[in-house]
Structure 1
Amino acid sequence: MPVRSHYPDVEVPDVSLFDFLFRNFGERADAAALVDGGSGATVTFSELERMVRKIAAALAERGIGAGDVVGMFAPNTPLYPAVFHGVLRANAIVTSANSLYTPGELTHQLIDSGAKLLFTVSPFLDRAAAAVAQAGLPPESIILLDGQVDGYTSLGDLLASEAEPPAQTVGAEDTAVLPYSSGTTGRAKGVILTHRNLVANLLQIERMGKVSPQTRILAVLPFFHIYGMTVMMNQGLHKQCTVVTMAKFDLSEFLRVIAEYRVNRVYIAPPVAVALAKHPMVDDYDLSCIDIIISGAAPLDAELGHAVAVRLGCTVLQGYGMTELSPVSHAMPDDSTDMDLNSSGFALPNIECKLVDPDTGREVGPGERGELWVKGPNVMSGYLNNPEATAITLDDEGYLHTGDVATVTEEGVFSIVDRVKELIKYKGYQVPPAELEALLLTHDKIADAAVIGVRDAEGEEVPKAFVVRQASGADLTAEDVMTFVAERIAPHKKVRVVEFIDEIPKSASGKILRKDLRAREAQAR
């Protein structure tokens, strides 16, 4: 039986994202909307709106309008939201690209999305220029956010426009953004998210948190990813609070920015929690300003989360989502007191869920494992140019099949226990890699870990752990790791192979890139 959110539904207005966010800044007009954590440069709400309108006007002068796609290939800066919303205000669509992409990966996204322009920064210019050329676009399709480079248009050129922005023609059901996601399987696909999807998710997450104009949000997770885009960049505008940006994660800089700008709300992925719980550098900074840390993008182990909470004297919470959900579907509310930190909290308002046995198709009840299916106003329209993938992921009833295995309690608390495609089958038993990874991270000599299934000499699939030692763990052996796990888990879940590596491959949002580990394993064989 479907499980509905126990929160009252929110009313989702039929407006564009621009109209929703830039409706009226009032007394906040001259307050800091965005602060560059590195330089201290500040953009106020009124300055941001002026830039958005100038960029929209300049894009319209260049022929960009309804249905056109504009790419963004840049790190977090206060200028990113100006360009993002300038594109939307020009009635066009943003496709945000991973700033770690190679030219080939970026080329695929430019071609697949049909992008006509690409905003980037000068340190990325070599990759951007190569991708633009491979996509068959002219060099003048590149616009640089930072400074002047001969032969290229700059953002300054656009901001010098004296034109008026075009009339708004987009509505709530029109496409707003095309972030790219691999979904449950395969190569990255364009995820069609409408203005209504994004507005709905902002209103849904509003019910779960206590974000106000006095809040200071740290945006270290990238704006190109839907997590940073919605939960940091756009939530900051919606709640008219200050967002402090970081171009990339560096632990000492991360800690300095929090301490210097007195950030009180920090969104992270689990790898950052490992550093906050274990790294000695944390003690060198005054982090007493932090009220809330929210982890997403991958499962956070409760013991690790509690260690962070105790060390920093703050509340640590967890949520769940995916690009196809705009992205948040489940979260712990800010006032959680006794909720299991291994869980992902409650379904957000307007959301209905099912848990379905992936082998039998049977709906399962509280306490049973099943693939999580989600229905709500934040669910994507589909995958761009990919009706087959859309049909696999979205069913006729409007449920999105997440590919994640979950359980739910009688009280409606959901826990993500693994992914359908990543379960290891050992002698017929299911072994969830995420469970083993969470356990490994509780070892005081392990800095990071990932687990995949590999074949042993008998052809049986067994769990293999890739382990990154702490600086103090040089003497840690594979036998130590296997013994540690064996003493704490059921026999069929034991780690049977260990390899020490320097770094676990992860996406920008913090998800373990198991495909990279599998490729490494195949190459070793």
Structure 2
Amino acid sequence: MTVAWKKRCDNNHLGHFFVDYMRKNGNAICQIDAATGEEESCASVLSRSIRLAQCFGKLGLVPGDTMVIGGRNHLDVHIPFYAGMISGLPVSGIDPALKSNELKCYFNIVKPKIAFCENAMYEEYKHTIQEEGHNTKIVTFGAGDNSLDKLMETYQDLQPQEEFQVAIFNTDEVYCWLASTSGSTGRPKVVALTHSHLLQMLDFFRIPPAKNGLRRTALNLSTLHWLSGLFNALLMPIHHIKVQTSTPVTTELVIDIINKYKPAGTLFTPTLIAPVLHHENHCDLTCFDILKIGGSKIHSELLSSLKARLREDTVIYLAYGQTEIGGLSLESFSEESLTVANVIGTNEPKFEIKIVSPETGKEILEPNVTGELHVRGPRMACYYNDPKETESVFTEDGFLKTGDLFYKTEHGRYVFVERLKMLLKYKNYQVIPPEVEKVILTHPGVADVCVTGVPHPDDGEHIVACVVRRPGYHISAGDIKELVAKHLSPSKHLHGGVVFLDTLPTTASGKVARLQVKKLVLSANRE
């Protein structure tokens, strides 16, 4: 990447990239907290980021020292991230609500030298650091002796910002991002991505500028512990005003923000799209130039409903990627996706992709046969401080075993099926939850559904459907069971019953929390 920088060098990195475009945007608005209406300019964000980077130097931090950020999406949360990029400090974004026992897992992997958290979480962080014996300075967001503002006030002898120079280091060796990725697979892991990894991904996540050149808003719903939150923080201010909220994200709030700020683009998860479309409060989606959808499988019916609410020229962009890949490896656009549900086409020639049988380990060459997706390319990442885990997910010839099931069509397009570990086993039959969910969603009284299983001593697992009713409908468990029995073979019938919920539990990124659902149905009233 070419960066206009007065001290040109061979090791331009994300810090150079950030400083360059923030200086160019000057007094233009950079970010808005929709919860409070507060605004901040690019010049102010850059000034605070540089000042904090100078503070890091005063604290003795050097490139390679690690940082943890656990905060809500207020106007302060991205300042340490930007300062970390400038200084060469790898950043690990973590869920701001993690408690001490959960924090231990991440702290023992990352071993942070400095940690940023909400005021209310100070004692949790302090307890974790003391109990585990880490040498970590805690800085809080908000007022107080340990606050971010207090830290920047402490050092009065900082050099003028005009003389400040971004740190120079090897972009292939110094990490930028330590991504926590527990997902659906159990214990936490931390994926290490270098500046070079992420510089190669910038074009995929950037929202193009408005045709008239004006700075419109873009909506950031991802917190920093998701890779999408990193790219939104980094890329949205280039051409747009980053709008986010310091309060918990609800359907009502998302609708209000869209109606008020009319964003040109955002990243949506399928679990957020459905409640927005079905909510009694109307959401005007015609403001969007581009919608990026990812995080989980989207059913074709939902995609069709979404497209009907958008302008004809709005681009719907489906993407598939993993943190271990450093971002995206497959993508598709709406016209293609509406023809075959969840079709995703190869987006970059640099990636080698194949489908492998989980049972035999052999590559599947026939079309429309499901297997595990294996990916090999230039941005493959490792697990930080965990060589055994890194070795376990890569084949001997360097392919990443994604853990996701795909099949390839006759036309060479890849179709997402499900997470390999989310497959259910009824007797000797494998049941793919989305196949059953797709049938249940055809009922007009169903707003949302998640299919899971409960253990059974003879049959392995019995299939259970967790259903969210659409307002105004009074559907019964019998209605759902009958619908499934009518359209699917006996191995996919709801032998475990139906559970009715007001909402499906979700992760912080908006995905359905399938492991939480699986635990929930064990004690729920199954009809």
Task: Tell me the residue number matched to 2:244.
Answer: 245
Q: Which of 105, 110, 113 matches 1:108?
A: 105
Q: Is 2:119 the partner of 1:122?
A: yes
TM-score (normalised: structure 1): 0.87
* Cα distance between partner residues in 2 of 1:418 and 1:470: 25
Q: Is 2:85 the partner of 1:84?
A: no
The 5 A counterparts of 1:23-62 are 23-25=20-22, 27-62=24-59
The 1:432/1:249 distance shift into structure 2, 3 A limit, reads: same
Where do 5+ consecutive residues of structure 2 fail to align? 4-9
The 1:26/1:37 distance shift into structure 2, 3 A limit, reads: same
* Cα distance between partner residues in 2 of 1:205 and 1:378: 15
Q: Is 2:421 the partner of 1:426?
A: no
The 1:348/1:124 distance shift into structure 2, 3 A limit, reads: farther
Q: Is 2:13 the partner of 1:16?
A: yes
The 5 A counterparts of 1:441-456 are 441-456=441-456
Deviates more, 1:59-68 or 1:244-253: 244-253
Q: Is 2:485 the partner of 1:486?
A: yes
SS of 1:53's partner is helix
The 5 A counterparts of 1:378-393 are 378-380=379-381, 382-393=382-393
Task: Tell me the residue number matched to 2:344.
Answer: 344
- Following TM superposition, by how much is the alpha carbon of 1:501 offset from its aligned partner in structure 2, in angstroms? 3.2
Task: Tell me the residue number matched to 1:377.
Answer: 378
- What percent of counterpart residues are identical? 25
User: Which amino acid in the other structure matches residue 403 of structure 2?
Assistant: G
The 1:152/1:394 distance shift into structure 2, 3 A limit, reads: same
* Cα distance between partner residues in 2 of 1:401 and 1:141: 37
* Cα distance between partner residues in 2 of 1:252 and 1:280: 9
Is contact 1:15-1:195 (8 Å) kept?
no
Task: Tell me the residue number matched to 2:265.
Answer: 265
- Following TM superposition, by how much is the alpha carbon of 1:167 offset from its aligned partner in structure 2, in angstroms? 5.7
- Following TM superposition, by how much is the alpha carbon of 1:437 offset from its aligned partner in structure 2, in angstroms? 2.8
Is contact 1:14-1:171 (8 Å) kept?
yes
Task: Tell me the residue number matched to 2:332.
Answer: 332
- Following TM superposition, by how much is the alpha carbon of 1:304 offset from its aligned partner in structure 2, in angstroms? 0.8
Task: Tell me the residue number matched to 1:179.
Answer: 179
* Cα distance between partner residues in 2 of 1:11 and 1:406: 37
User: Which amino acid in the other structure matches residue 252 of structure 1?
Assistant: E
Number of residues of Structure 1 aligned to a counterpart in Structure 2:
505
- Following TM superposition, by how much is the alpha carbon of 1:500 offset from its aligned partner in structure 2, in angstroms? 2.2
SS of 2:448's partner is strand
Where do 5+ consecutive residues of structure 1 fail to align? 1-9
- Following TM superposition, by how much is the alpha carbon of 1:137 offset from its aligned partner in structure 2, in angstroms? 4.7
The 1:362/1:98 distance shift into structure 2, 3 A limit, reads: same
* Cα distance between partner residues in 1 of 2:18 and 2:442: 41
Q: Which of 150, 154, 160 matches 2:148?
A: 154
- Following TM superposition, by how much is the alpha carbon of 1:195 offset from its aligned partner in structure 2, in angstroms? 0.9
Q: What's the CA shift string for 1:354-404, capped at 9, x where partnerless?
A: 111111111113322121112223321x11222221111123433211100
Task: Tell me the residue number matched to 2:94.
Answer: 97
The 1:351/1:30 distance shift into structure 2, 3 A limit, reads: farther
* Cα distance between partner residues in 1 of 2:384 and 2:27: 39
Q: Which has the higher contact order (CA 8 A, sep 6+)?
A: 1
* Cα distance between partner residues in 2 of 1:438 and 1:261: 33
Task: Tell me the residue number matched to 1:308.
Answer: 306
The 1:183/1:308 distance shift into structure 2, 3 A limit, reads: closer
Q: What's the CA shift string for 1:64-96, capped at 9, x where partnerless?
A: 112211110101123222210102222211111
Q: What's the CA shift string for 1:282-334, capped at 9, x where partnerless?
A: x2x54431233222111111101211221344554321122222332222248
User: Which amino acid in the other structure matches residue 163 of structure 1?
Assistant: L
* Alignment RMSD (CA, Å): 2.9
Q: What's the CA shift string for 1:248-272, capped at 9, x where partnerless?
A: 3122221121122121212111111
Task: Tell me the residue number matched to 1:143.
Answer: 139
Task: Tell me the residue number matched to 1:7.
Answer: none
The 1:26/1:128 distance shift into structure 2, 3 A limit, reads: closer
- Following TM superposition, by how much is the alpha carbon of 1:435 offset from its aligned partner in structure 2, in angstroms? 2.6
Is contact 2:118-2:141 (8 Å) kept?
yes
SS of 1:487's partner is helix
The 1:413/1:14 distance shift into structure 2, 3 A limit, reads: farther
* Cα distance between partner residues in 2 of 1:184 and 1:454: 17
User: Which amino acid in the other structure matches residue 518 of structure 2?
Assistant: R
* Cα distance between partner residues in 2 of 1:440 and 1:14: 53
